[in-house]
Amino acid sequence: MLNDRIIDSIAEGPNIDYYNHCQEVNRELTKVAHHIAEEIQLQGSKSLVIEQSTEDEDLDESYYKTLRLDFSHKMAATRAGLGWIGKTALFISEKFGPRVRLVTVLTDYSLPYCTDPIDESRCGSCDLCVRHCPAQKANGKLWNIHIDRNEFFDPFACRKKALELSYQNFNKEISICGECIVVCPIGKIQR
């Protein structure tokens, strides 16, 4: 789970604390995922860590044509029944809302598994993320497993605006924003 204080601090746009926090959480998730994978291998099973999103400079040319990676942690999480995709293409957990980061460990180790994947959005009529998106490129359509992300959200406009905001706010050309995370009422601690 992401730190609520840091997430709440980006209500006016991304900042260096948010960027650093995401980097720290990503490093910790990577470490934990590799530890789990090693433990699985010690049990005689296969495992493969699919790390979370990478730095912009690590992405190849094909990524920039589609803004898609070969593996979707968000879709894997919906198949595991952990949450759904929101109106601005965020993964939404029932308990933590969008205030999470994901990493995946694939394995052939026998584990309990989800028999109830989540196939559609549970955002309902809420459109806070759509209304607060600085890029204004989400149309409010609800996600389901049969709809392509580009039908309800423009990732290119989001990335362009995020690059602009992060450079403007803390002088780094990276695609990080978080406005939709801040406004989502799901998972927000009631104060």
Residue 115: what pLDDT?
A: 85
Whole-number pLDDT of residue 49 = 95
Q: Report mean pLDDT in 10-residue bins for the chain, 191 residues.
A: 93 94 94 97 96 69 75 92 96 95 94 90 97 94 95 92 95 92 85 40
Task: Note the pLDDT of residue 11.
Answer: 92
DSSP structure string for 11-66: TTS--HHHHHHHHHHHHHHHHHHHHHHHHHHHTT--EEEE--PPPGGG--HHHHHH
Q: What is the pLDDT of residue 109?
A: 94
pTM for the predicted model, two decimal places: 0.89
**Per-residue model confidence (pLDDT) at position 191:** 40
The predicted pLDDT at position 68 comes to 75
CA pseudo-torsion sign 14, 160, 76, 131? positive
Looking at residue 55, what is its pLDDT? 63
DSSP three-state, residue 92: strand
